[in-house]
Amino acid sequence: MKQVLWSLCVCLAGAAFGQGTLVPPDDWPIRERPWGGFILDSHAINVDIKDAASETRVEQVFFNPNPYPLEAVYLFPVPAGASISRLTMTDGDKLMEAKILPADEARRIYESIVRRQRDPALLEMLGSRLVRLRIFPIPPNGKRKISLRYSEVLPRDGGAYRFSYPMSLDARSQKLPSRVTLHADIETSQPIQTVYSPSHADISVRTTSAKHAVVSWESGGRSEPQDFQLLIRSGSDELGLSILPYRSGADGYFLMVLSPQLHSKEAEVSKSIVFVFDRTGSMDGDKIIQAKKALRQCVDRLRPMDRFQVIVFNDGVDKVFQGLVSADEQNKSKAIRFVDDISARGGTNIYEALQAGINTFPKEKGHEFQAIIFLTDGLPTVGETDPQRIRRGISDLNERAGGIRIYSFGVGSDVDSKLLDRIAFDARGDSNYVLEGDKIDTIVEGFFEKVSVPALSNISIKYDGMDVYDVFPKEPRDLFRGSALVIAGRYRGDGHGRITVTGAAARGQDRTFIDVDLSGRQDRDDYIPRVWAARKIGYLMDEFRLDGRDTKELRDEIVRLSLEFGIVTQLTSFLITEHQMPMDYYGRAGHASGELNDDLNGAFIQFGQSDGAAEAGKLKSLGGGGTGGGSGGFPQGTYRGAAPPGREAQALMRIAGDKTFYWVNGVWTDAAFKKEAKVTKIKAFSDAHIKLIEAWKKFKDYSKLGESLIVQLPGGAVQIGEQGSESLSAGELSGLLGK
């Protein structure tokens, strides 16, 4: 057995890195025999976090799909400052440990790999501390498991500790991993305030005590993984407030995260809930059975400090109680018995049902949280049936009542999603949709669990001394324990001042503030501009879909944001086909001018609308302002990484770092490219290329797209390709970077 070789390459200080990958070994005869590549079969990440210290254990299983044995070299870029404690490979029942080479020899080996293999994924790794392990022959259809363990001190940003892990695929990956899992066990010395992922909105957070939380996330190969980010804030304050900035040019972007202590009892606000329940004939069958189960569960979870009412409707309205009653065991039992006797029959009188729900609340409001949970499966067919008059009538009545929150659930495909969205939006609530075949009880119970413990309502935010604009959502929603309120916006100037958040809490009016200084370049979190753009697009689409505002200016702005930030929406969809009308990389039909003069392989923009619940659910995936709400992270439909063979359907657009690129004339072209800009041509993988990566750290994100790309820099454009300069003087480099 040959010796296993591990080299630790200390290249440059840098935080950006990609996931572990396999590349051809140094002595592989590529010219004589093609290197077929491996498939990442599974990827498991387990993390233990104790305050600022973390230990990460990684297991990756690679599969050889080729009909011949294959060798490889494993490369893993380690976060700056991390300490590796173990790297092993499993071969059957044999466990092989790695060895360390001197840093200077490791660097020499690494650079030789980069230049010989001309691999964009390797260029992306430049600037990180790199681990190298020789993998010996893996038989056809065979697997190898690689295990890695490292520890690090987590950086602190905006008052929160940040854990990062690379998950985006490299250019050689032919298929998504069948299973990617992440499990993080978090312990803190102070009560936990925030556990929030700006990259993965679908994480599960479970708390066992005020100072312990467990995070889990899983991808079943449905979509390409994004690099994972997790923010953890702890402290004695009931509310935690953190701010994350991003600025690479003039004006900056920011995300503000507000969250209560995850396990605080003091932060819990008492609530008054009115359940308005559809018992019309169309609910008959499995729908009414599941809906009744969900309603029983929601009533059962009310606390003695809460008050409630149950209203059922079809042609008319029936109430369990005369008004709001305390949620003691006797009243809850009476309500559950009433629910058990519900049968489905009659028409749908939405207006009278919501009117009765709003009129249940007293005119004098206390500090309790007041909300209506409204469930229906149909269009209005009895009483007032005009959607506009229903919307205006409910909105006016609710305003006079002091602003009751309305959370609506549309069941099936026949609901008027535009009406439900508009009613919820006006009432600063939310709307949700349960499609045919979905489990109504599970979805409704899950939602009620989220909103069952309000921590702060009637929230207002004040920015003192700061020039902020385009902040979304325009009106912050209420804050519940176990969740986070995420605000996205832009700022001018030095971003210096104080942010104050005020709202109604259990003990009366509550206020928290943070002093901020966002001056200077802040270019670490390149996902922040895209989160902001998704929020703004969501807000504009609310105006388009809910308000019926359809103007050229509105459409143009949605298209511009979609193209600039690489966000696919249902209003502006990128349809990639082989034989459709051409469009230039600015989104205009026809041909681009100048050097980039051909079509974009058949891409075009399609405008469309749908009033169905399915489309409404898709639109809300943007996490936009207005009804979209959202918790941040990358929106649905964005793509990252190179375009490997077999993914032609995704080949038009790529997101790399803070930029969006389009495929034009066989060149990945920066959406910000200015046709009048001076273009400097640089040979791929040359000293000049590597020097650019070292001087402009985002350039390695762009370089992972391949050997042919155009990037707009502050001092001009750079074209990477087969031809061009192989060296750059200090003056030329400074000029490109605008220094």
Q: 435: which strand partners?
A: none
Give helix 440-451 / helix 286-300 axis angle, nearest 10°.
Answer: 20
Contact criterion met (CB below 8 Å) for 271 and 407: no
Three-class DSSP category at 292: helix
CA distance 672 to 662: 10
Beta strands in 353-483 (DSSP E): 369-376, 405-411, 430-434, 454-464, 467-472, 479-480
Number of helices (H) and strands (E) in the chain: give both, helices first.
Answer: 14, 39
Burial zone of 474 (CB within 10 Å; 0-12 exposed, 13-18 middle, 19+ buried):
exposed
Q: Report the pLDDT value the prediction gives residue 287, as an integer from 0 to 100.
A: 82
Burial zone of 67 (CB within 10 Å; 0-12 exposed, 13-18 middle, 19+ buried):
exposed
Residues in the chain predicted with pLDDT less than 70, given as ranges, are 1-19, 26-36, 77-81, 85, 87, 90-132, 136, 157-158, 168-177, 220-225, 237-238, 261-269, 365-367, 436-437, 482, 506-509, 521, 546-548, 568-651
Quick one: which of 705, 734, 735, 732 has its CA closest to 720?
Answer: 705
Q: 206: which strand partners?
A: 214
The bridge status of strand 228-234 relative to strand 369-376 is unpaired
Give helix 417-426 / helix 528-545 axis angle, nearest 10°.
Answer: 110
Contact criterion met (CB below 8 Å) for 281 and 521: no
Contact criterion met (CB below 8 Å) for 18 and 77: yes
Q: Is 418 left (phi over 0), alpha (psi -120 to 50) or beta?
A: alpha
Three-class DSSP category at 152: strand
The bridge status of strand 716-721 relative to strand 709-713 is antiparallel
Give every strand in the sheet of 479-480, ordered side by side.
479-480, 454-464, 496-505, 508-517
Give helix 417-426 / helix 387-400 axis angle, nearest 10°.
Answer: 20
Q: What is the DSSP letter of 118?
A: T
CA distance 433 to 444: 10
How is residue 693 written in tokens? 């990566």
Measured between alpha carbons, how far is residue 261 from residues 78, 116, 191 in Å? Answer: 32, 53, 7
Query: pTM for the full model?
Result: 0.67
Quick one: which of 531, 568, 571, 726 has its CA closest to 653?
Answer: 568
Instruction: Kindly state the helix (H) or strand (E) to which residue 324 belongs, with its residue range.
Output: none
Contact criterion met (CB below 8 Å) for 88 and 98: yes
